[in-house]
Amino acid sequence: MKSMKVKRRIVKLIAKQKFLFIFALLATIIQVSASLVLPIIIGKAVDQIQGINNVNFSFLFKIIFVLIVVIFINGLFGFLMQYLMNVITNSLLKELREKAFIKLLFMPISYLDSSSQGDLVMRLIGDVDQLGDGLLQALNQLISGIITIITTLVFMLVVSYQVALIVICLTPISLLTASLIARASYKTIQAQAKIKGELSGHINEMFDMGKVVIAYDYKDKASRKTKEINDRLYKVGVKAQFYSSLVNPSTRFVNSLVYAAVGVFGAIRAVGGLITVGDLTVFLNYASSYTKPFNDISSVASELQNSFASARRIFEIIDLEILNDDNLLDLPEVEGNVSFQNVSFSYVKDKPLINNFSLDVKHGTKVAIVGPTGAGKTTIINLLMRFYNLNEGKILIDGNDISKFKRSSLRNNIGMVLQDTWLYKASIKDNINYGSNASFNEIEKAAKLAYADEFITRMPCGYDTIVSDDSGLSIGEKQLLCISRLMLRRPKILILDEATSNIDTRTEQLVQKAFLKLMENKTAFIIAHRLSTIKNADLILVLKDGNIVEVGKHAELLEKNGFYKTIYEAQYANINN
C-alpha cells in the first residue's frame, strides 16, 4: 500500500469526527492568535520606556493587565486543543483495534495457520500504539504549526510586508529540505516495522515453545536466529535514525537564516527611524514564532513516517477478505446423519491429501478414525467443521450441503474437544460456560457428568476459583473442564480429536464413562490412539494417504490381518499385554 493512500485513509478516519476536529481547529486558531498578539503587547510595553525616568507607568499597567488576560486565553485554548486532539486520536485507535481484531476473528483458519502469531499481536498492539504516538504529535504540533505559520505571515504582512517577503522567499528551502529527507526515510522505516514484526513473532514462538527449546537443546540456534534478525533490525534502525536526525538540524539551519535576515533588516529600519524598538521586538518574536513550527514539524516527521508504516500494516489486516456467510441459510436442527461424497482436498496445491473420500454415517454412530501421521484424520474433521473449503465433492448433514449454510450455524450443532486444552483467565464456572448461557445448576451438572466436580470443589473458591492455562492445573484437570464445556452444550454431533491422549489412565477411565453417556443417541467422530476408545466404536475407519483402506469393527479388522492389525500391533500390543 502506497504512503499517499495510507495518508488519505487516516484523513478519512479523522474526518468522521469532523465536529470535534473543527472545534479543535478553532481552539488552535484562538490559541495561536493569542500567542501572536503577545509580541505586539510586549512591543507596546517596550515603547512606554522612552528614556531615563521617562516611563508611562499608567499605560504600562494597563498593558500588563491585557497581557495577563491574553496569556490566560492562550493557556486555556491550548489545553482545550490538546484535549480534543487526544479524544480524536484515541477514538481513531479504538476503531482500528476493533476493526483489525474483528477481521481476524472472521478470517479462515488457513490464514491464521500460515501467519506468525507474534507478528499479528505486534500489529494489533505495537503498530496501533506507534500510529497513536505519531498521530497525536502530528495533530498537536503539525496542525498547530501550520496554523502558526499562516497566522504569523498574515500578522507580518500587516505590520511590515517587506519583512514578510524575506520570510516567504526563504521558506521553500526549509520545506524542500524536510520533504526530501522524509521521503528517503519512509522506505527504511517501513523495512524497520517489518523486521520488528518478524522479531516479535520469533520471540513469541520461543516463549510458547520454551520447554521444547530447552529439551532439544535449541538454545544456541534460537540465539543465533535472534541475533541475525536483531542485526538486520540494527542496520535498518541506524539508517532510519540517520535520515530522521537529518531533518531537524537541516530545518533549524534554514530557520536561523530566516531569523538572522529579519533581525538585520529590522535593525536597519529601526536605526533609520522607520520603525520603533518595540516594532523590532515584534519582528524578532514573529521570526521566532514563524521558524519554530518548522523545527517542531521536522521533529514530528520521523515519528509520522513510523506511524504511516505502522498504519500500512494495520490496514493490511483490515483489508483482508473475510468469509462472508450473510447470504447463507441457518442450518435447521439436525439429527446427526453425516455423508462425505467424493471429497478431495489439499493444503498445498499439487500435493493432494484427501482423494475422492466417501463415507455415510448414520445418526447415533460412533466412528473412530485411525491411521498413521499425515493420513488425513484431522483434515476430515477440519473439513466437517468448514475450517477449510473442499477442493471437490460435498459434505452433507441430514442431506443438507453444509457449504450452503452459515459456519456459525453449522458449528453450533457440533461439539469439539481437542488434544490441546484451552482455558482463559476467568472463574471455573465462566470457563465451563464459555460459548453458552447456562445457569449455575446447569454448569454444576455438566461438571459432574464430566467427573470434574470432585477436583473443582477442592479448589480454594470452588467454581469461583480463577484459572487459566498457566494456573497450575494438571493437563487432565484442564481437559476435564474442556469436556465439561462440551457436556453443557450437548450438541448432536461430537468430535473428539485425541481428547484423552494427555490424560492419565485413571482420569481417562472417568472421562470414557462420561463420553459414553454424552454420546448416547449422538453421532461421534473419534480420533484417538488409545485402545479403549477404538474398541467401543461402532465403526472404525482406517486411513492411509487420504484414502479409506479398511472399514469395520475392532474384532473384524483384526481378523482381516490387514493394515489395521499392523497399526494395532505397533501401537497397542503392549497395552493389550
pLDDT for position 182: 65
What is the structure's pLDDT at 50? Answer: 63
Q: What is the fold, at CATH topology level, of the domain defined by 422-490? A: Rossmann fold (3.40.50)
Residue 576 is predicted with a pLDDT of: 47
Which one, of 42, 45, 49, 38, lies nearest residue 60 by Cα? 45
R_g (Cα) of the chain, nearest Å: 35
Tens-binned pLDDT, residue by residue, of the chain (577 aa): 566 788 888 888 888 888 888 898 898 888 888 877 777 777 677 666 665 666 666 777 787 888 888 889 888 998 998 888 888 888 888 888 888 888 888 787 777 777 777 778 888 888 888 888 888 877 777 777 778 778 777 777 776 777 777 777 776 776 676 666 666 666 777 777 778 777 877 777 776 666 666 666 677 777 888 888 888 888 888 877 777 677 667 767 777 777 777 777 777 777 777 766 667 777 777 777 776 776 676 667 667 777 888 888 888 888 888 777 778 888 888 888 999 999 888 887 777 788 888 889 999 888 888 887 777 788 888 889 888 888 899 999 998 899 888 888 888 888 887 777 778 888 989 988 887 888 899 899 888 888 888 888 988 889 999 888 777 787 778 888 888 888 887 788 888 876 666 566 666 677 677 777 777 788 988 886 665 567 778 888 888 877 788 888 888 888 888 888 887 777 655 444 4
Q: What's the pLDDT at 49?
A: 65
Q: Give the pairing of strands 523-527 and 493-497.
A: parallel
- Residue 53 has what pLDDT? 66
Residues 6+ apart with CB under 8 A from 234: none
User: Could you tell me where in the chain the CATH 3.40.50.300 domains are found?
Assistant: 335-413+491-577, 422-490
Q: Cα 348 vs. chain centroid, distance in angstroms?
A: 27
> What is the pLDDT, as a whole number, of residue 277?
67
**Of the options 3.30.420.40, 3.40.1360.10, 3.80.30.20, 3.40.50.300, the CATH number for the domain spanning 335-413+491-577:** 3.40.50.300
What integer pLDDT is reported at residue 395 of this predicted model? 92
Q: What residues does CATH 1.20.1560.10 cover in the chain? A: 3-10+17-318
Q: What gap in Å lies between CA 267 and CA 273, rounded to an integer? A: 10
Is the CB of residue 163 less than 8 Å from the CB of residue 280?
no
Gap between the terminal Cα atoms of the chain:
63
Residue of 332, 331, 334, 344 whose CA lies nearest to 404 = 331
Residue 310, φ and ψ in degrees, nearest 5: -65, -40
Rounded (10°) angle between helices 277-318 and 219-271: 150
The domain 3-10+17-318 having CATH identifier 1.20.1560.10: the answer here is yes
pLDDT (tens digit, 9 = 90+) per residue, 87-116? 888 888 888 888 888 888 878 777 777 777
Residue 505 has a pLDDT of: 66
Pairing of strands 338-345, 392-397: antiparallel
Contact at 8 Å (CB) between 170 and 261? yes
